Structure 1
C-alpha cells in the first residue's frame, strides 16, 4: 500500500504534551500539577517510571525541533504547562515559565515550523485540583485568565491554537473511574467536570480572541461505537457510551446543546447561558482517533478491562474485545477504516456546522525500538482511510501523528512507546526510528507532487 496524495496546502505535523515530555517539574518556578502529585503516589505509575524527568524536552527542545525540521514537518503540536506559567492556577505569573515557551516558539519559527500549542493537556495546577479541580466552576474562569496571559505573549508568532485536549478522558479516567489524576471515583457524579471543561474552552476562545489570537480549535477524542449484540440492552449500552464519549462534548461545542435533555439537567450552573459560551464559534475542529469501541449490555458478574483500566461492573454498559484485527501494545484494535467512519459520522451529524477538521492525534504504541514496521503499517493504513474521508467530502486540512518522540504514557510510564523517535530513558538519547524516515519520505513525496 502506498500513501495517496493529499490536497494542496495539507498540513503535516507531529504532537507532544508537556507532562509527558518536559521534565524539569520544579525548574524555574514551575508549580506542581495534579499529575505530579498523583504520579508520586506509590503504585500509580505501573512500571515505576520517574515521571519528573519526562523525555527531558525542557532541556532538549532544540534537538527535538531539529528532528521536526528533519522530518520536513509543517507544524508541531505541543502543550503549555499551566502550572509552569501560573503556578498557583491563578494570580501571579511565573515569567521564567512563560519565557521557556517564548524560546520554544522562536526556535520553531526559526525552522519554518508552525507552533500549534495546546493550552490544557491534563496538567491542572495542584492548588486548583485541591480546590475541586474541574468539579469547581471557578477553575473554568482561572483557565480563561491563563489563556489570555499566554496569548498576550505569543499570539504575534502563533498562528494556530488548541484550547483543551480530550476532556472526555479527563472526565472518565480522572473523575469517574479514578485511574488518572486527580483520582476521583465519582462515576456519573463526574459530569460537572465535563461541563466545566467545556465552559473553560468557550471562555478561553473568547479570551484568546480578545488577546489577538486567531485560528482556534479544540482537540476531542472520537471513537466509533459498535454494538456488541442484538438485544435492547446491548443497543442501549452502546448508545449511552456513544453519547458519553463522543456527543456529550462535540454537541455543545458545535451546536450549543447537549445531546440529551437528561444530561443537560444533570449539569451545574446556568446551563443555557453556559452553552452560549461553550459554542463560541471555532475556526477548526480537532479529532484524536485511535480505535473503535465495541459496547454492549453490562456484565454485573465481572469487572471489565478497557485499555488497561478497570470499568466498574455497576456501569450500564460493558466494553467488549474487538476480535479479528491486529492490536497495538495497548491491546487496541488497529482499524484504519474507523477513522473514515468517525469523520463520516461527524459530517453526517453536524453538516455545515462542522468546521474544517485537523487530525490532532493518531498513532500507536508498539515495542519496536527502531525497526518499527508495525507503526509504519498503522500510519499508512490510517492515511489511506483519511484520504477516503476527504474524497467523501470531509474538509480535512491536516494531520498530526502522535507522537514525535516516545514519552511518559501517563500511568503506563515508559512501557508504551508511541514515538517516531526512540528515547533512551537512562541517557535521554534520541534515535530516529524507521517510521521517522518513512514519515519524512511521505511528507517529501507530498511536496514533490505539489500537494501537501
Structure 2
C-alpha cells in the first residue's frame, strides 16, 4: 500500500505573507503590520503592504493552481479583514473576499483547507494584552463564528491554529517575530493555556455550525530522527520530551492536552509554582475531539552517534536537510496519538531567479522534495494514516522576519512586476500528483 487513493496533494500559503492590500476594504492593522512598520525588525526592511498582491490576483493564482494539478489549497484568514476592531462589527467586504476565493477554488475542483489563525492577530487586540488576556479565547471564538457561518457551507476542512509553538516562541519568548516580546515563563504558560482554550472553543464552533466539516490543529514539528535502528526508542522519547524553560517547543505540550485531555505531568511538576489554574471543564473544552493533526516539518535532528560535518547539505535559509524527517515525524505521532495526519507544510528556500530562457530552474528543490516525499511514502506504507501533503509554499512570499530574500515557492513571484512563473519543481510536482506518488 502506498498513498491512499483520495490523498490530498496541495500547496499552502498564509494571509499576511501573500495578500497585500494591508489597509484596503476595511482591514485594520495586524501585529505584523505594526511590527514591520516599526522599522528595524525585518532583515531587508520590507513589509507585507503589497506582498504578492494575492488579494487582487487571487483568480489568476487559483487558475494557475488548477493548471499545476493541485487537488487542495491550504490558506489562512486574516482576522483583521473580518473583525477590524478584533470583536464586534463584522466587515462584510473581508468575508466576501474569502467567500469568493472559496468559490473560485471549488470552480476548479480544488479542495479548500482553511486555517483560522496564522499569526496575524489584530493589533487592537494586542493593545489589550493579546494572548496574555484571559478574554482572548472568547475573542477567538467570536472570530471563528463569523468565519464558519460564512464559509462552513462549502469549506469542509478547518485548522484552528498554525504553529502555536512558533508564534509564541518567536513572538513572545525570543522577540524576533511580532509582537516582539520577551516574556517570563509564567506569562508564557498563561498564553499557552489561553491558546489551548481558544482552540477548544473554535472546535466547538465548527461542530455546531458546520457539523459535516473536519477540524484539527497544525503543529510545527522538529522530529527526533534515529541515526540507527538501535536509536528508535530513544528518538521517540526525545521527540516528546519537555522542559520548564522551553516547554512551548514541545509537541507533547500542544498535542497531549488536545488528544489526551491533560498537560504533561513532568511540566506540571516542574512549573507547579507558576502554572495557571485550570478546571476539569477547561480540560474538557481543550480536548474536544479533533479529526486530524497537521504537521509542518522542514528539518529534524538526529538521535544517536551523529556528528554534523562541515558542508552538510543545507538550504538557502541555513536549515540542514533530513531525508527521513517526514517519515520519522509521522511515525512518532502515529505511535503516540494514532490519528489521521496531514503534512500541512514542507519545502525549502532556494536561490531562485528567472533565467535567461525566461524559466526558473530549481533542481535542488526537486531533489529535496523527492527525498522527503519518499520518506512520507515509507510512513504511509508502514501503515500510518497520512491523508495529504501541502507543499510550502504555493509561491514565493514574505518570509516573516527574513523578508523577501528566502524563496520557498513552487511558483516564482517577481516582486517588482508581480509576474508569476511556475518553477521546474512545480511541473515535477504536477507529475507526482498525477501518479499519486507512484513515481517517487
Deviation at 1:226, TM superposition (A): 6.8
1:262 alignment partner in structure 2: 269
Mapped partners of 1:135, 1:292: distance in 2 = 30
1:169-208 maps to which residues of 2 (within 5 A)? 169-189=166-186, 190-208=188-206
Mapped partners of 1:329, 1:29: distance in 2 = 37
Greater shift, 243-252 or 57-66, is seen at 243-252
2:154 alignment partner in structure 1: 157
Mapped partners of 2:226, 2:174: distance in 1 = 22
1:316 alignment partner in structure 2: none
1:221 alignment partner in structure 2: 220
1:272-291 maps to which residues of 2 (within 5 A)? 272-291=280-299
Any idea what the Cα deviations from partners look like across 1:292-313, whole Å, max 9, x if unmatched? 14799xxxxxxxxxxxxxxxxx
Pick closer, same or farther for the CA change 1:37–1:346 going to 2, 3 Å. Answer: same
Structure 1 spans left out of the alignment, 5+ residues = 229-234, 297-319
Paired residues of 1:121 and 1:164 also in contact (CA < 8 A): yes
Paired residues of 1:238 and 1:295 also in contact (CA < 8 A): no
1:326-341 maps to which residues of 2 (within 5 A)? 326-341=313-328
Deviation at 1:368, TM superposition (A): 2.0
Match of 1:380 among 365, 370, 386: 370
1:36 matched to 2:26? The reply is no
Deviation at 1:62, TM superposition (A): 0.6
Pick closer, same or farther for the CA change 1:295–1:322 going to 2, 3 Å. Answer: farther
Deviation at 1:242, TM superposition (A): 7.7
1:104-123 maps to which residues of 2 (within 5 A)? 104-123=101-120
1:421-436 maps to which residues of 2 (within 5 A)? 421-436=411-426
Paired residues of 2:3 and 2:381 also in contact (CA < 8 A): no
Mapped partners of 1:236, 1:416: distance in 2 = 28
Match of 1:73 among 54, 70, 82: 70
Greater shift, 43-52 or 13-22, is seen at 43-52
Deviation at 1:277, TM superposition (A): 1.0
1:401 matched to 2:391? The reply is yes
What is the TM-score of this pair, normalised by structure 2? 0.89
1:356-395 maps to which residues of 2 (within 5 A)? 356-369=340-353, 370-395=360-385
1:229-244 maps to which residues of 2 (within 5 A)? 240=243, 244=249
Match of 2:427 among 420, 437, 446: 437
Structure 2 spans left out of the alignment, 5+ residues = 228-237, 354-359
Any idea what the Cα deviations from partners look like across 1:402-431, whole Å, max 9, x if unmatched? 000001000111011100000111111111
Any idea what the Cα deviations from partners look like across 1:198-246, whole Å, max 9, x if unmatched? 1111110001211125211111111124799xxxxxx999753587332
Match of 1:62 among 51, 59, 64: 59
Deviation at 1:193, TM superposition (A): 1.6
Paired residues of 1:175 and 1:184 also in contact (CA < 8 A): yes
Pick closer, same or farther for the CA change 1:184–1:295 going to 2, 3 Å. Answer: farther
Paired residues of 2:137 and 2:197 also in contact (CA < 8 A): yes
Q: How many residues align?
A: 415
Any idea what the Cα deviations from partners look like across 1:258-280, whole Å, max 9, x if unmatched? 11323674432425432211110
Paired residues of 2:240 and 2:252 also in contact (CA < 8 A): no
Any idea what the Cα deviations from partners look like across 1:161-187, whole Å, max 9, x if unmatched? 111100000110011111111111014
1:48 matched to 2:34? The reply is no
Pick closer, same or farther for the CA change 1:321–1:425 going to 2, 3 Å. Answer: farther
Paired residues of 2:224 and 2:239 also in contact (CA < 8 A): no
Mapped partners of 1:422, 1:403: distance in 2 = 10
